[in-house]
Amino acid sequence: MNGSKIPSWASLLVILVASLSCVERHPLQPRVPEPQMEQASRLTAPYGDAQTAPPAIVIEGKQLYEGKGACALCHGLSGKGDGPAAHLHNPHPPRDFTDCTVQQARKDGELFWVIKHGSPGTGMVPLVPGILTEDEAWKIVAYVRSFCKKPA
Binding interface with ligand HEC (CB under 6 A) = 31, 69-71, 73-75, 85, 89, 92, 94-95, 106, 110-111, 114-115, 119, 122-124, 127, 132, 140, 144
d(CA 39, CA 41): 6
Q: Which is nearer to ligand HEC, 3 or 121 (CB)?
A: 121
Q: Which is nearer to ligand HEC, 54 or 84 (CB)?
A: 84
Q: Which is nearer to ligand HEC, 58 or 115 (CB)?
A: 115
Contact in structure between 140 and 132 (CB atoms under 8 Å): yes
How far is the CA of 126 from the CAs of 69, 97, 101, 123, in angstroms? 11, 18, 24, 10
Q: How far is the CB of 48 from ligand HEC (least distance, A)?
A: 18
What is the CA angle 84-131-45, rounded to 5?
Answer: 100
